[in-house]
Amino acid sequence: MNSSTPIVLASSSPYRKELLERLNIPFTCQSPNIDESRLNREAPETYVERLAIAKATALAEIYPEHLIIGSDQCSVVASDIVGKPGTRQAAIAQLETCSGKTLTFFTGLALINPLSGWQRAAVSRFEVTFRDLNRAEIERYIDIEQPLDCAGSFKSERLGVSLTQAMHGDDPSALVGLPLIQLSAFLREYGINCP
């Protein structure tokens, strides 16, 4: 494989962009335009892997000679998918639901080369167990962090960690939205070393 293949991140997420910058490789960002609706009875793992592949594939015509990274994430508590809250009130409700419970994050990752047909995909799992939270600390956290664009209203890389009792998973970057350990493995397989 060609280690000089240009890379594009199929995302408009500032969190994913910041994560990918850690690998010190040149890349560009382009937001894919796809339908992110969940299929009927689709398992969370299947859902995020399908969307990660769809995001990368959506840019194949625009970037046929690039290596394209796609990623998607959802979180689940008590078998219910918890998405991005969008509003302060929804964020409060999400964290009240998560209080004292475990929120499981599933992060799908895809890496494709449209020209050669080379493709890899995987799903990372990370569990966050929240301590018992009261309304005042939930509101204070939301007002400081503004996690309205974060799955489950949770920002692990900042103050969100203070809401937890425990976190379990192989790759903390997956929790933020882009599994760098798995991505680095895929890139090495393709012939790109980081660093």
Residues tagged active-site: 72
CA–CA dist 143, 194 (Å, integer) = 37
Containing 8, the helix (H) or strand (E) segment is strand 7-9
Task: Give Cβ neighbours of residue 124 (< 8 Å, ≥ 6 apart).
Answer: 106, 107, 109, 169, 170, 171, 174, 179, 182
Q: Where are the beta strands (DSSP E) in 50-133?
A: 67-77, 80-82, 102-113, 118-130
DSSP 184: H
CA–CA dist 10, 162 (Å, integer) = 31
CA–CA dist 19, 177 (Å, integer) = 8
